[in-house]
Amino acid sequence: MSTSMEKTASKTEPISSTKNIDFDSGYHEDLAGTIQTDRALLWRRDVVLVPVTGLLYMIMFLDRTAIANAHIAGLDEGLNLPSEGYGVALSLFYIPFVLAEVPSNLLLNTRRIPPNYYLGAMTFLLGTLAMCQGLTESYGGLLALRFLMGIFEAALPGACTFLISMYYTKREASIRFAWFFNFALAGPMFSGLLAYAIVENLDGTGGYEGWRWIFIIEGLITVFFALIALVFAPNFPGKAQKWFLKYEQKERLIATLEASRGHEEKGTVSDAVPIWRILTDWRIHLFTMCFFCCDITASSISAFMTTILTDLGYESTTAQLMTMPVWAAGIVSTFVVTWAASYFNWRFPFIYACQCCQLVGWIIMRVYVPAAGVRYAALFFMSVGEPFRPKVLQNTTSDTLGM
């Protein structure tokens, strides 16, 4: 009799049982079924979620660095910018970017707007505004467009990283964030090559200077990727589209994530934790400051690298091509450092090494070493330190959220 009852209990044991759970990977005996099935589910997320969000982040940086390429291709002369005009145009972009990012994330966190509609709309508006930079006839028009771009671009990085964090466990997320950030580095890397080709082949076409075509073409590319986001960006795990995850796969994924980071009733952070606790958590503010300092380096490189290279005596077209090895070094470094940190499960020494590399680069720039080769090498030091960003981001989205 007892044996029969035990068999019945075994058959009715819920799938959410925490028996034999590996909380690092998120897989456990009752949930996994087979290793092949779990790997197939992971692969399905990797071939959809990471490329879609990564491409959006790449396009964001492509638009962000377009002004740097236009700057050395005749933007200042074309719009009669004042001596400080380029710096003002750069700075004005970041004011709404900073102010709009948190409200944008909170709006997405309500789950009233599906991520594909949200990301698609914001990317479309960003691309349209970026294209209009090539059509404006005044300095004031450029400033207005830069301000509006800051508002809509603020939605992309937070929304993309939040969506990734919702689909992966702590151990899975590390290498995916590395891929995500490498897409971002690929944006400015190819931006230099694209700007070179545009200026060389389209300067004067249709009565527009080469710097205008840089904005127009890169803005149109962004609009095209907005359509990709609208079609292929997945919804949150609990409402994943049928073409993306079948019902059984969705149930398995949700149970896996719950086993890894705890139950979230509606699938969002604010459903489980009061928003005031998030906003007053010292860890979030600490890592935000770390990310802020690191992002200064990335933004400075993207905005001023071409100017630095032309100041060293290189032609504008040559300077655009010389940006590519710098960003390529950052891509390789991000993969190596992130893989090593995940393999050894030890982040601090790698984060510290990246900080030191960036510090070396800043010191060389600060003391203004006259040798062109040394200052060019400083850009490599800064770029090689970029893996600091995905590791800090993983800390904030994984550790502080309990993933």
* CA distance linking residue 219 with residue 62, whole number of Å: 9
Domains of the chain: 31-399 (1.20.1250.20)
At residue 26, does pLDDT exceed 50?
A: no
Q: What pLDDT is attached to residue 394?
A: 54
pTM of the model: 0.77
pLDDT band with cut points at 50, 70 and 90 for residue 179:
confident
- CA distances to 88, 351, 357, 373, 386 from 360, rounded to whole Å, are 27, 14, 5, 15, 13
Average pLDDT, the chain: 81
DSSP string, 77-130: HHTT--TTHHHHHHHHHHHHHHHHHHHHHHHHHTTSS-HHHHHHHHHHHHHHHH
Reading the block at residue 216, the tokens are: 């127009």
Find the helix or strand (DSSP H, E) in which 152 lies: helix 139-153
- CA distances to 17, 25, 315, 319 from 41, rounded to whole Å, are 20, 14, 49, 44
Lowest mean pLDDT among 23-27, 68-72, 159-163, 165-169: 23-27
* CA distance linking residue 373 with residue 385, whole number of Å: 19
Q: What pLDDT is attached to residue 49?
A: 92
Neighbours of 230 (CB within 10 A): 17
* CA distance linking residue 16 with residue 259, whole number of Å: 8
* CA distance linking residue 195 with residue 215, whole number of Å: 9
- CA distances to 175, 198, 248, 257 from 260, rounded to whole Å, are 17, 48, 18, 5
CB 271 within 8 A of CB 265: yes
Greater model confidence, 14 or 37: 37
